[in-house]
Amino acid sequence: MANVSPTRGDIGSHPDVSEMRARYARMLGGRDVALVDGPVFLLGLYCAVSPWILHYTTSQPALVPHNLIVGIAIGLLALGFTRAPERMYGLSWAFCAVGVWMIVSAWIVGDSPDAGVVLNNVIIGALAVILGLMCAGTAAKSAPRT
């Protein structure tokens, strides 16, 4: 009877070991923004639930689905930054654009918002712009020069 049990051998004899080690080092070297991923996700989570936290579901009904959708989008960007950093950090500039949109959206989407709603969206937007610039700056710094 043949031995078909899986064996774990030394990968040192693999023909592509040097390329795999170099790729692994590149991936670990690009994780300078890992500390930003968590705050970005928490910002998206807060943005999504902020209408219910600040109780403006009745005074600004148009901003409720808006903040929910934008919060989910920010959270998905954060998960993408964590899951596939090499492909997603190009979207850091889009994250900055989402932050700018959050700053002005209270007046565009809302109907004469009060100071609390405006302040909430401005703070969320400003934090999104700052975190997006941090992601973009770190990604540009760690990008390979050609």
CA-CA distance, 62 to 85, in Å (whole number)?
A: 33
The pTM (predicted TM-score) of the whole model is 0.73
Q: Using 50 as the pLDDT threshold, list the residues of the chain that sit under it.
A: none
Give the number of other CB atoms < 10 A from CB of residue 17. Answer: 12
Q: Tokens 């990604």 — which residue?
A: 139
pLDDT tens, residue by residue, 19-61: 877 877 766 555 555 677 889 999 999 999 999 999 888 888 9
How high is the pLDDT of residue 56?
87
Q: Using alpha carbons only, give the angle 96, 102, 107 rounded to the nearest 5 degrees.
A: 145
CA-CA distance, 115 to 60, in Å (whole number)?
A: 12
How high is the pLDDT of residue 90?
76
How high is the pLDDT of residue 72?
96
